[in-house]
Structures are given as C-alpha cells and as structure tokens.
Amino acid sequence: MTDPFRISNRASGIKASGIRKFFELGLSMKNPIDLSIGQAHFDVPDAVKQAAIDAINEGRNRYTVTQGIPPLREKLRERYARRFGNIDDCEPMVTSGVSGALMLSFLALLDPGDEILIPDPYFVMYRHLATMVGATARTYDIYPDFKPTATDIRDRITDKTRLIIVNSPSNPTGYALNEAEARELAQLADDTGIPLISDEIYEDFIYTERHVSPREFTRNCIVVSGASKSMGMPGWRIGWMLAPRELTERMYSLQQFSYVCAPAPLQWAALKGLDQDFSAHREEYRGKRDLVYEGLKDNYRIVKPGGAFYMFPYLPEGVDAERFMEACIKRELLVVPGAACSDKATNFRLCFAATDDKLKTAVDMLNDIAKELK
C-alpha cells in the first residue's frame, strides 16, 4: 500500500536548518552562551508595544487589505521616495516578515527550472525558498573578503538565471556594500536585464558611513526589508517590499490566497515603530562588534563587519570544523558552523546581539579553543 502521507518531492528537498539545530541544542543546555540565533537582544520599545495593545483594544483585529494598512504603506512610500527619488511606478507592500516578501517575489518571478544566484556564504532561506518554487539556487563565491562583485556574479549567469540576490548588510558575514559596489551591482542588473532582490533587513545596523542600496542606482531591483531586526520584533512577522507596480499587483493576489495579510494590530505597531529613533541600538551594536573583533583578531582571521550583528571568522589554520564545534559545545558555547550557510566549512558565524558580559565570556572561550586546537 502506498504511504497515505507520502512526502512531496518539494518538501523532501528541504533539510532542517543547520542553525535551528544549534538553537534546539541550546534549549537542552543549562546555561549556554548562545550566539547562534540571529535576532536583536533588545525588546520592542514600550511605545510600540502600547501601539499594538491599543490597536487590539480598538478592535483592529480583522483582516486588513492584503497589501497592508494604508498609513503604513504611505509611510514606507515617503521613506523610500526620500532615499530613491521618484518611485511613482512602484508600490510598497506589507508582508508577513521579510520571509513573506522573499516568498512572494520568488512565487511571482520564478518558474520550475529557473535559476537564481545567491552569494556564498548565504542566508539559508534563499536556497530553500528557491527549491520550494521548483527553481535552483546557484551560488556566487564571495570568499575571502565577502565583497559581492559584478565579475563574481557575471561568471555564474546562465540562460536560466532570473534573479540575483544581494544582501547588505549581510547575514552571515556582516559585509556592507559601499557606493561603488552598489553601483556596480545596479549596472549589472541593467546590463543583463536580470533583476536584483536587495535584502536590506539589517539596514538600520550599519557601522560604515551609511547604508547604501543598489536600488539608488537602478529601478531593476526589488527591495525587501522589515521590522523583525530593527524594532526587535521577529516574532511579530512584519516585513515589506518595494517593487514595480505591475509586479506588486501580482503579489497581492499571491498573498491574498496564501497568508492573506500581515498581522493586523502589529501593522499599526510597526507604523508607530517607524517614528522611533533606533540609532542608540546601532551605536550599542557597533561597540559589541568592536569588543568581539578586538578580542578575537589575534587568534582568528576576521573580515570586520560593516553592518548587521554577525561576524564570520575563519577557523584557525589547520583546525577542522567538527573539532571546533565539539570544543564549543563542550563549553556550552553555541555558534553556527559555516557549512550551515555555505558550501565551504572554513568559518563559523557568531551573532553579537548579546550582553557584553556574554560576549566577553565567549571571546575568552574562543581564544582558549584556538590555543587548545592548534
């Protein structure tokens, strides 16, 4: 008899996240130093929580229009128009997290057999979302300095390539594009006619001069971003995107017939959140980046992150990933093996969104590990 719950090829092609595995391992430890999961360590600001509570109490609990509540979309339009100039032919759309925005764009633009290009190392979801829609993710290698260049990408383009993903500041490397690099990527999109998806979820965590988006230099670009990281509300599932109007209208239908809308009261809360000043968090995280970078740089080769809250150090020379992870786990220190977000196993990801005390303990442990394994 055939298995009544035979798993689809689509689902069979998707493995559990290598990052989640470490998160779950952490739950079984008594007092781990957990630098594995990627979320800010601060809570939602009180004014934003109050806006959510007020929205619930005022009965804003029904479905919203699928594209998102008008005042939030208006606020997003103003923000993007300030950054990108004339966006009259584009439409902001509110989604269920940035994951929702990515999913909708993949569904709208990819057919089975199509290819997308993602950086290596990459945010794990890109690969799996491509698989879910029947497409294939091919990587462009950004080792050793994590700078995505048009040359790296151009070499990987085939006649099936339909999308190029860029992510700045990056998960897992923290690399942030400068203006010349963003211009080069924009030019690539214009030359090839292959659109970029620019994942800017970490745009508020920037330690360089400013956050630069390739969308400043080309209209051939979908921008996805959201409130999960910057407002400390990853569990609230609020994201958004800016894309050309005809494409957005397609995505309205896809969202309408899947998730319907982002959580209604939390859209009102995110609207409030967009008026808050989060720059203190940026400065705090810059300090954390410096603490960890300065603490580790004598024992680990590290590309100093220009943004986000991740670092992707190289394993010490001659040390293999398995021994390294075992040494971390023995100390109840949780980091992510590089292979969970890369085709290579030469690095590890640590998230420095943690208290300074925890970070100092982690730095001491990692330095001990480097000495022990040498």
- List residues near ligand PMP by CB under 6 A: 38, 97-99, 123, 167, 171, 199, 201, 226, 228, 234, 239
The distance of Cα 332 from the centroid of its chain, to the nearest Å, equals 26
Residue 105 or 370: which CB sits closer to ligand PMP? 105
Residue 67 or 363: which CB sits closer to ligand PMP? 67
Query: Closest separation between CB of residue 233 and ligand PMP, Å?
Result: 9
In the bound complex, which residue of the shown chain has the CB atom lying closest to ligand PMP? Answer: 97
Rounded Cα distance between 248 and 339, Å, is 34
Q: Rounded to the nearest 5 degrees, what angle is found at the Cα of 129, between the Cα atoms of 213 and 239?
A: 50
Query: Closest separation between CB of residue 168 and ligand PMP, Å?
Result: 10
Query: Closest separation between CB of residue 263 and ligand PMP, Å?
Result: 12
In angstroms, the Cα distances linking 145 to 210, 306, 323, 345, 351 are: 20, 12, 24, 16, 18
Query: Closest separation between CB of residue 19 and ligand PMP, Å?
Result: 9
Residue 115 or 199: which CB sits closer to ligand PMP? 199
Residue 32 or 234: which CB sits closer to ligand PMP? 234
Q: Where are the alpha helices (DSSP H) in 155-209?
A: 179-192
User: What residues form DSSP beta bridges with 350?
Assistant: 311
Residue 254 or 319: which CB sits closer to ligand PMP? 254
Residue 97 or 273: which CB sits closer to ligand PMP? 97
Query: Closest separation between CB of residue 129 and ligand PMP, Å?
Result: 10
Strands 333-334 and 196-199: unpaired
Per-residue DSSP letters for 215-268?
A: GGT-SSEEEEEESTTTTT-GGG-EEEEEEEHHHHHHHHHHHHTTT-SS-HHHHH
Query: Closest separation between CB of residue 128 and ligand PMP, Å?
Result: 12
